[in-house]
Structure 1
Amino acid sequence: MWFATPISRTDRPRDELAIKLALALTTPGVDVRAVVQTQRTATMRALQEYTRLKTREAEPGDMPWRLVLDAMIFQAEAEIRWLDHCETSLVRYTPPPAKAPDPAPYEQQQEVKS
């Protein structure tokens, strides 16, 4: 039965934000700190909206909605903490030196013939 089965972390969809930040670190020309700030701003706005929704007076049948709203608030708070952690980690991050591009196939063939 579905209600009796715990939800596994692996059953959830991929984490787009974690993937975006990981790719931003390896993509030339992407300002990772700007990506973090943009996400933090959006998450803070969402958190403010969730908090505003929670301040309205509860109706007797609101408990299911309140539980979902609480989950959304906790997730937004956790995301902001994680973004703070990312920002702190980026201060200490030194990217690896850029590799020289591999020679073109034509150049490799010329070296073999020489």
Structure 2
Amino acid sequence: MNLGPMEIGLIILAVLLLFGYKKLPDASRSMGRSMRIFKSEMKGMKDDDVRAKDEARTTPVTGQIVAPSPVAGATPVTPVDLEAEAAAAEARAATARAAAERARTSAASADTAR
């Protein structure tokens, strides 16, 4: 389907009649902004894909143990240290649950005493 000069002229005339000559610059401006936003979003999506591919190359396989990179003056973390940290965190959580339960029972007993 080829558009000749007559068809293009009719399309321009129809657009002018529909929108009016005062609204066309605003419409063109908003169309340009929309295109810029669309292009920047597409570029951002492509950048995210590139970053995801780079991370996929450096992401360890499931089950693989990866030691953190050494920092000057830092002690290396061993799996035993991590297990001890997990046990300590569980103990703190149990203590917090027990304290919450004691507070709940004391508040309930205070309500029944009234």
Report if TM-score (shorter chain) is over 0.5.
no
Normalising by structure 1, report the TM-score.
0.29
Asked which structure has the greater CA Rg, the reply is 2
More relative contact order, 1 or 2 (CA 8 Å, 6+ apart): 1
